[in-house]
Amino acid sequence: MGTRVSKNFVNVKGNWFPAILIVLLYIGLSIISFTTINEDAYITFRYAENLANGFGLVFNEGGERVEGYSNPTWLLLITLAKLVGVNPVFASRCLGLLFGALILIELHLLFRLCARKNTHYGSLAAIGVAVAPAYLYWMQSGLENALYVYLIILTIRLVVDEALGLEDFQISWLPLLLLLLTRPESILFIVVIGFWKIANVAKEGTPKARFALIAWLDLLLIPYLIFLFWRHAAFGEWVPNTFFAKVNNGLRYSFITGFQYLISFLNHSLWIPLVLPLVAYTMRGFKIPDTRKDVIELFLYFSIAYLIFALYTGGDIHPYDRFCVLFLVFSPVLTFLILPDDPRTQWEEYAPTFLVAAFILGNLLYSFPPQWDTTPEVTRPPNSMTVSLIGLVDGNVSPGEILARFKDPPVDVLEYVGRDLRNDPGVDGLLAVEQCGKIPYFYGGPVLDLLGLNDSRIAHIVHDVSTWDIYAQAILNELPETFVFVYTDNRLISRYYLENTVMSEPFQQRYNLDRIYHADNYFKLLDGAEYSVPMELLVYRQKLEVELNELTRNELNWLMQNEPVVDNPDGLSDQVEAFRGRHSGDPGKVIEIRVDYY
């Protein structure tokens, strides 16, 4: 670990032209590839706008201070953009482009640091990252993924710089501190880097090295501890409220779903062909230079730490394997770091280039299967990068249309519903939703998240099915005027406790199913044929003849004594179909929406 060498050992000079070309390729593909802004990004946008407008770190203007976000650094960047008049959606896209490009530049610097004879391996790894649809998606998702991955790669490079004695003043604490403020699970990386640095200092054994380590720890931990105490003083918790709302499912459940999540990523990943030569060369045996060993060790340790995090949390519900973007970047880097500098045959010399070319071709033809049933039935629709490229070549889409779509994505059903409710004069009270991003952002009024993101009491109880009655009591006693639920496959997409609440007698006594939004999300195949992904939202409204009050003793007893879904498993679908029958042909009750993606 951490072999000290002279500065002359590191290839600090070199041709920047390949790196510039790869960055331009990435920017072009990012703009061409249609990416919707992720639902959760609008949670950050809402907090940022309230902060910029002087209301503080709150989800609802004048509401309780609850840390319903988990990305303080990213939120601050969006807030600064808002303060200078930049729309949060466009700001997040520009920041994603910036940090996505900086990641590719960091890979270029990292491979120079490793003093490879085959310096083009760094370019091959960067190309593989830049053309991956999941990378393009998450760098432009509106969330903090681009900043997060960039800070990780930057931290690793600076830590290795310091271990090699290339830096007189250690500054890796700064990106690591920013990493801690960007995502709370980054505490795992402090453990990794801390032990790695301690091992290096123990090996070196000089007073100067020990002093540098103590100074590094002070600069990192003191500001972070100040931040933790501020968080506890401001929100009453040591961790974000999102931990309780999203993570606290129990270890057994989380481990099973997390394992399935990782298997799903391997199934989706196209880097498996690139890992095969890694295995082959490992079996053949070769010597890895010490500098490269340091980098490989850190990448492997970070991967293990993040695997632990993914298994503990149970993965993520978002498409394109959000938690695995880190592995998507790490895998080509590790592959090309381990490949030897001395290929013995002409095939071994050109095989990496051929493999990357195959990977690029595979990504042009490959995309993840749709999440829901499609019409007509398709198993693997193309990705937007391919469709847009073909559209440009065929003249079916103009560069101006692509740029306009990049800056202002099409209105999807969640945004449509939020705007529609905002413009409805009959809706002006508390809105309860299970999708707490776009609908609240475009609604603008007070909102209660049904997962508890902006309510710490609800966040602590939503994961226990046995306490659904306590959950229903907490929700109904907030006295929402309107509820919005996502409905598919004859049920609500959220968990059992939510459907129990909707079908309970107290809920049915207070609320009527008021309207259904049916959206068909259209995508195009390579031959121009369309397929659609349906999505529906149910809106329940307060009954006009009922005055909302907290639950009575009789209503509480009913909740404790009954399980509506068990007693009547088809009750919700029967109710929805009866509503459709009564309001067939009424566009104000069954609202049809068409959304054209690509």
**What proportions of the chain, in percent to the nearest 5, are helix, strand and coil?**
60, 10, 30
The secondary structure element, H or E, covering residue 533 is: strand 530-542
Residues 6+ apart with CB under 8 A from 540: 482, 483, 484, 485, 502, 507, 511, 512, 513, 514
Query: Do residues 386 and 510 lie in contact, with contact meaning Cβ atoms separated by under 8 Å?
Result: no
Domain ranges of the chain: 7-348, 413-596
Q: Does residue 527 sit in helix, strand or coil?
A: coil
> Above pLDDT 70, what percent of the chain?
82
550-593 pLDDT per residue, tens: 999 999 998 888 888 888 888 889 999 999 999 988 888 999 98
**Strand pairing class (590-596; 511-524):** parallel
User: Phi and psi for 208 in degrees, rounded to 5?
Assistant: -60, -40
CA–CA dist 201, 197 (Å, integer): 6
Q: 362: pLDDT confidence band, cut at 50, 70 and 90?
A: confident
What is the amino acid identity at position 99? F
Q: What is the pLDDT of residue 252?
A: 64
Q: Which pLDDT belongs to residue 75?
A: 96
Of the two residues 229 and 310, the one the predictor is more confident about is 229
Question: 114: closest CA among 334, 343, 347, 357?
Answer: 334
Print burial letters for 10-45: b (CB count within 10 Å at least 16), e (below 16): beeeeeeebbeebbeebbebbbbbbbbbbbbbbbbb
- Sorted by sequence, the CB contacts under 8 Å of residue 400 that are 6+ apart come out as none
- The residues near 442 (Cβ < 8 Å, ≥ 6 apart) are 415, 418, 419, 422
Q: Which helix (H) or strand (E) holds 117?
A: none
pLDDT, tens only, 135-167: 888 898 899 999 999 999 999 888 888 877 645
Phi, psi (deg, nearest 5) at residue 448: -110, 120
CB 448, CB 475: distance < 8 Å: yes
Average pLDDT over residues 234-253: 78
Q: Which residues sit opposite 592 in a β-bridge? A: 518
Give the pLDDT of residue 420. Answer: 93
3-state secondary structure of 223: helix
- The larger pLDDT score, comparing residue 53 to residue 113, is at 53
Cα 51 versus chain centre, distance: 22
Q: Which two tokens stand for residue 157?
A: 């490079």
Cα 492 to its chain centre, rounded Å, is 22
* Stretch among 148-152, 304-308, 418-422 having the lowest mean pLDDT: 304-308
For residue 34, give the 3-state DSSP assignment. Answer: coil
Adjacent-strand bridge partners of 534: 520
pLDDT at 211 over 80: yes
The three-class DSSP label of residue 161 is: helix
Beta strands in 389-449 (DSSP E): 431-433, 447-449
Which of the four pLDDT bands, split at 50, 70 and 90, describes residue 526? low
pTM for the complete prediction?
0.88
Q: pLDDT by residue (tens digit) across 253-300? A: 677 777 777 777 776 666 665 565 566 556 555 566 566 777 777 888
pLDDT value of position 460: 84
User: Residue 490: what pLDDT?
Assistant: 81
Q: Residue 497 has what pLDDT? A: 82
Helix (H, G, I), strand (E, B) or coil at 485: strand
How far apart (Å, rounded) are the C-alpha atoms in residues 255 and 413?
33
Confidence check: pLDDT of 519 > 50? yes
Question: What is residue 208's predicted lDDT score, i.e. its pLDDT?
Answer: 79
List the one residue out of 164, 47, 27 whose CA is nearest residue 99. Answer: 27
- Going by pLDDT thresholds of 50, 70 and 90, the confidence category of residue 120 is confident
Residue 63: alpha-carbon gap to chain centroid:
26
> Where do we find the tokens 């990252």?
129
Report the first-to-last Cα separation within the chain, whole angstroms. 49
Q: Please name the amino acid found at residue 157.
A: R
73 to 69, 159, 175, 389: CA distances (angstroms): 11, 21, 11, 34
Q: What is the mean pLDDT of the chain?
A: 82
Burial status of residue 582 (CB atoms within 10 A of its CB: 0-12, 13-18, 19 or more): exposed
How far is 480 from 511, CA to CA, in rounded Å? Answer: 10
Residue 216 tokens, joined = 């590094």
Cβ distance 462 to 245 under 8 Å?
A: yes
Query: What pLDDT was estimated at residue 371?
Result: 45
Strand partners, 522: 532, 596
* Angle, helix 187-204 to helix 207-235, in steps of 10 degrees: 160
When pLDDT is cut at 50, 70 and 90, the band that residue 115 belongs to is low
Residue 501, pLDDT above cutoff 80: yes
User: Using 50, 70 and 90 to split pLDDT, how confident is the model at 57?
Assistant: very high
Burial (CB count within 10 angstroms: exposed 0-12, middle 13-18, buried 19+), residue 578: exposed
Residue 236's SS3 state is coil
Q: Which secondary structure element, helix H or strand E, spans residue 335, and what is its range?
A: helix 325-338
CA gap 246, 225 in Å, rounded: 24
In whole angstroms, give the CA distance from residue 226 to residue 114: 36
Average pLDDT, stretch 498-507? Answer: 90
